[in-house]
Homo-oligomer: A and B are copies of this chain.
Amino acid sequence: MSDLLERLRGRGWRMTAQRRVVAEVLDGDHVHLTADEVHARAVARLPEISRATVYNTLGEMVSLGEVIEVATDKRAKRYDPNAHRPHQHLVCARCGAIRDVHPSGNPLTDLPDSERFGFTVSDVEVTYRGVCPNCATA
């Protein structure tokens, strides 16, 4: 369990009911919700919360570096509260389930200079795809 809300408080982030609810529904391990899913869950706790606020709040948490935006599916962006430890993602091609994974080694070193085209490479994002145990038996 991470502690998204605590991390945000610790940064002197102005706290409101809306922001607290967004942080609460997003927190946890292997959590990768779309903005709409976050909104749906937030509404369950705070019916007046608007879509715009959810989008704004998620965007700010990303800017603060406390939440990561991931593009594991090609439709909506997903939000991952587990920003305190570098990790990659493993996605089920059938049901879309997502797990956080930690590959051995540093994928950055796999890119030789001759393949860098003069870029200053600073980051790498890896998405593994496969079939989860649940879908494999079905």
Binding site for B on A (CB under 8 A): 69, 71, 74, 77, 90, 92-93, 99, 101-105, 107-108, 110-112, 115-133, 136
Q: Check A127–B125 contact: CB distance below 8 A.
A: yes
This chain: copies in complex: 2
Contacts of A104 in B (CB 8 A): 110-112
Given A71-B74, A90-B116, A119-B132, 8 additional A-B pairs, CB 8 A:
A101-B111, A101-B116, A103-B110, A105-B110, A116-B130, A117-B132, A119-B133, A124-B128
Our pick among B74, B107, B136 for the contact of A120 (Cβ within 8 Å) is B136
Say whether chain A's binding surface is mostly helix, strand, loop, or mixed.
Answer: mixed
**A77-B74, A126-B124, A128-B123 known; A118-B133 Cβ under 8 A:** yes
